[in-house]
A and B are shown apart, each in its own frame.
Chain A
Amino acid sequence: MFCNKTIMITMKRLKIVALMAVLGFFASVVSVKAQDPAEGEQIFKNNCTSCHAATDEVVIGPGLKGIGQRRPIDWLVKWVHNPQAVIASGDKYAVDLFNKYNKTQMSAFPSLSEGQIKSVVAYIDAQAAAAPAPAADGAAPAAGAAPAEGSSNGGMMQYIMVALLLIMVLVLIALLSIVSSLSKLASISPDAAEAQNVPLLKRLAENGKKLAANSAFKTGAALLITLLIGKATIDAAYGVGIHQGYAPEQPIQFSHKLHAGQYQINCNYCHTGVYKGKGANIPSANICMNCHNSIKRESPEIQKIYRSLEKDEPIQWVRVHNLPDLAYFNHSQHTNVGGLECSNCHGDIAKMEVVQQRSTLTMGWCIDCHRKTDVNTKGNAYYDKLVELHSKDHKEPLKVQNIGGLECSKCHY
């Protein structure tokens, strides 16, 4: 009996020891995991980056670099679980923080465990330690890329230099001929004995008269004047009513290349009417402010937006595409129904620093497209009957001209 009892007790002890060992093992695993920067990175990116940076940069809340040294971990856990309660408890640091960041309340994250918060701190510390290294790595490829870019530029430069040289030679010839004719004009006829005493103006007048009497010079001058007038007339005639190449200076030096190109902001984000209405719309200042409430605030160009908002005065952008009132055009018909891209008519806006009218916007240009373009009939029940009728007599797909795209009254009424 006694023997049995001692065995049972030892068994019990063993069990407890084993349990403790298992628990201890788990605890150690958890604690290892708790300090895991990789896990911390995941949590940080999913939950914190919208307001905090791992550096000392302020995003919405403070930068978290060195947060582990700045605040004790117990405080951090309490804060992350319920910041409102910490502020309400009158904790001085918390209240100061709250006031410093415009009384913006941090979201509570009660679901994060203490271990997870420690991991995040470990990740931030690891980031701080690793920060200088990637910068050095980044510098090397940039330096390597520079010469390549330079050489590609070099090819272009050569062409420009050759073209410039050609122009210089032509200018030189023109200048030389002018000099020779002018020196002829001012020259002294060798047979005049007292030539030296004749004043320059008189000499010029005499020589001019002689030159005017010269029939070759007369035809030359007449030819030049005719050519000049002719070219000016042709230029002006071709330009009547056509604004192609019009790139007016705008009140704010807005770059489509930066916004639509580099930052890939969709045209529709600012031109809100382009899929819905006749006009594409020019954005009001509140749309600019969606980003420029914090981006490039010091730039004098951006300050113009702020001034406009403060005074409640619209920014007077200069309209680039002025289709005459005699022709009706609707954006939504072309973009939403027809499925055309903006660049089909406006050119590669995403590469334009200053927007320019690329297409001629003449009637011939419209008609040409209406002849060539297939109607976007897919998934649009409106066209079903038309397509059916059309395909009875024609093999080619339905073009815009087949549904009245060349009718005068479609656009002129």
Chain B
Amino acid sequence: MFTNKTKGLLLTGIVALAMTSCGDKHNDSGTEFAPNMYHSVGYEPLSQTDGDTNTINPHGMNMRLPVKGTVPRKYYGQEAKSDSIDGDLLQMELISRNIKSGDMASSEALLTNPYEPTESNLEAGKAQYERFCMHCHGETGKGDGAVAKMYKGVPVYSSDALKTLNDGHIYHTITHGKGRMWAHGSQISSADRWKIVLYVHQLQQQ
């Protein structure tokens, strides 16, 4: 059926394929054509280059924590007046940052939500709730999220003990944690936390 020539051709082809097709490549990012155009000259956060590690910062990291006591740029030169939503937010921010993590009572007494429960704010709150809370607290705040079964101790928002909790209490809980829940202040901006508070109020009634 095959001539010797075609047999030989086929065989060499198979051998060539077999010798080049397998390789452990998952740990190798491959050849770079122009590395000096690929790797940033300036310090990029989270960038990671062999032989190009940052020698100034500890652990060769490019990112550093802000200096203690410094104010984020977006608040620079702003006043805590309550004539705009930004002013309200800043005022609440200044108060809440001076409340210690164990001092729930002060949060309850001093903090109020700068956002009105408008439709768009509630929708934004729901979106944030779904990203940061739902996997434990469940879709409707019944404490039945997928993680809750494993983590345990997730309460029901609409229970007698929780259904009347006010803005400050919920905000404090997200920021500093409560009971089994740990602090989430580092993950969610204060504006988004207040929007979540709006949506949690809605779930308390369900």
Contacts and interface: CB of A to CB of B under 8 A. Distances in A.
B40 A241 contact: no
A289 B182 contact: yes
Contacts of A241: 30-34, 38
Contact of B20 (A223, A232, A284): A232
A409 interface: no
A231 B22 CA distance: 12
B158 A46 contact: yes
B70 interface: no
Interface centre among B4, B37, B187 (most CB of A within 10 A): B187
Nearest to B155: A50
Contacts of A173: 11
Interface in B12-27: 12-20, 25-27
Contacts of A319: 46-48
Interface stretch (A186-194, A246-254, A396-404): A246-254
B176 interface: no
Nearest to B4: A216
A255 interface: no
B180 interface: yes
Given A46-B159, A286-B186, A287-B187, A247 B38 contact: no
Interface stretch (A90-98, A135-143, A266-274, A370-378): A266-274
B168 interface: no
B26 A247 contact: yes
Interface stretch (B78-86, B91-99, B110-118, B127-135): B127-135
Interface string B36-53: 011111001111100000
Contacts of B38: 241, 322, 324-326
A268 B131 contact: yes
A227 B150 contact: no
B187 A272 contact: yes
A276 B128 CA distance: 13
B161 interface: yes
B182 A223 contact: no
A50 B182 contact: no
Given A269-B131, A319-B48, A325-B37, A224 B26 contact: no
A249 to B, nearest CB: 6
Nearest to B10: A173
Interface in A312-354: 313-314, 316, 318-319, 322, 324-326, 354
A51 interface: yes
Interface in A234-274: 235-236, 239-243, 245-249, 262-266, 268-269, 272
Nearest to A276: B189
Interface in A201-238: 216, 220, 223-224, 227-228, 231-232, 235-236
A269 B15 contact: no
B135 A325 contact: no
Given A46-B158, A51-B179, A228 B16 contact: yes
A319 B41 CA distance: 18
B25 A245 contact: yes
B151 interface: yes
A246 B151 contact: no
A272 B192 CA distance: 12
Interface in A256-309: 262-266, 268-269, 272, 276, 279, 281-282, 284, 286-287, 289-291, 293-295
Given A265-B135, A313-B59, 12 more contacts: A46-B158, A50-B179, A231-B16, A240-B31, A264-B135, A266-B132, A266-B134, A269-B135, A276-B189, A286-B186, A324-B38, A325-B39
Interface of B: 4-5, 8-9, 11-20, 25-34, 37-41, 44-48, 59, 61, 130-132, 134-135, 143, 145-147, 150-156, 158-161, 179-184, 186-189
Give the 9 A-B CB pairs with smallest separation, nearest first: A46-B159, A50-B155, A227-B16, A324-B38, A325-B40, A268-B131, A247-B26, A266-B131, A224-B12
